[in-house]
Structure 1
């Protein structure tokens, strides 16, 4: 394949889906998410602009599934040009002393542990010239954001360590901070918010894409 290859984890909706659509004219998209129907809808939108995608309805918290995914990418294409990690779990807001064990465990599994598994799986596919991009949402230490804030901060700590460690050797690692968006995740946190005042995921994808592609060159 002469076309560049982009892996997007968390591609079924929100910023992940918007970035998949924005990259489709220049990249073949490997779209990973648990929701098959949403991935199929994304595939339709990508095809409508002349792009192509490989759908991978998988759970990123299952290491064996992620190993199979990465081995499949290696066997079929040999390498990746770009990895965008947008998968996230938004646990219900709660005082720290009332965080439910199941919410903490799910947040840790998706936001932190899966990232720690994916980085060593994906890194060999990116090699020295590929690029990984993570997306910051600095909620650590805010009231009621205990489970989300702590596990998102753990994800960002991993990403930033990897970014510094590979600055001279590659792959290129970026951490970008999106503007507030009208997504399902944000609606869980701020249900009464005026969503008309927020950026759409498509607008943010368009704003962030030049930073992603410039760094990839």
Structure 2
């Protein structure tokens, strides 16, 4: 039976690299808001002999995610892996100047949507599936108030789920990627020398090795 992997935030960076790395062994269900980037990912996966289902949608759209998860159940009956790379990266700003709309979007995208997705996806993973979250330990650093606080809250949700399912499954993994030359990092650090940064494909391979080791 074909294994399945749902990648939220699959269009670029580490999400796309994780999808590409899993493509030889999994049918990839790729979720992102950017249709063109998903189509490029699909071409890459097809070139490797893999197959993907593209789902151009916002993870904060409850109705769309409900429909997607029901579609996964109807087609495959379950899900083997969920890799959550979707993130809302609010602009860096002094904590005393965080824009209210940026904070609201950060809470909605990084915390509320993640909590809702766990409730939808947990039944699909059952006791044997795997969920993978990506930590970014910038909480408390200067100017990272909106992003850092909501990313830390997202990982707190993952750690609670991890503790609750340690004996029963699904397996919940929390990885900490090395800094990579992603679009998100470019927004935070424009003009930095990107040559020392880790390659997303290498990080994807490392994370999967840790998970499966």
The verdict on a shared fold, with TM-score over 0.5 as the criterion, is yes
Q: Which runs of 5+ in 1 are unaligned?
A: none
Superposed, 1:37-56 pairs within 5 Å as 37-56=36-55
Shift of 1:64: 1.0
Q: Deviations over 1:144-199 (max 9, x none)?
A: 00000010011000000000000000000000100110101111111132100101
CA distance in 2, matches of 1:164, 1:182: 32
Q: Deviations over 1:113-165 (max 9, x none)?
A: 11010001000000000010000001111110000001001100000000000
Superposed, 1:133-212 pairs within 5 Å as 133-212=132-211
CA distance in 2, matches of 1:14, 1:28: 19
TM-score by length of 2: 0.98
Partner residue of 1:10? 9
Partner residue of 1:85? 84
Q: Deviations over 1:58-78 (max 9, x none)?
A: 110111111111111001110
RMSD: 0.8
Q: Deviations over 1:74-101 (max 9, x none)?
A: 0111000000000011110000111111
Shift of 1:109: 1.1
CA distance in 1, matches of 2:115, 2:181: 28
Q: SS of the residue aligned with 1:173?
A: strand
CA distance in 2, matches of 1:53, 1:168: 32
Q: SS of the residue aligned with 1:46?
A: helix
Q: SS of the residue aligned with 1:7?
A: strand
CA distance in 2, matches of 1:213, 1:12: 24
Q: Which runs of 5+ in 2 are unaligned?
A: none
The alignment of Structure 1 onto Structure 2 pairs a total of residues equal to 213
Q: Runs ≥4 in structure 1, deviation > 2 angstroms?
A: none
Partner residue of 1:126? 125
TM-score by length of 1: 0.96
Q: SS of the residue aligned with 1:154?
A: helix
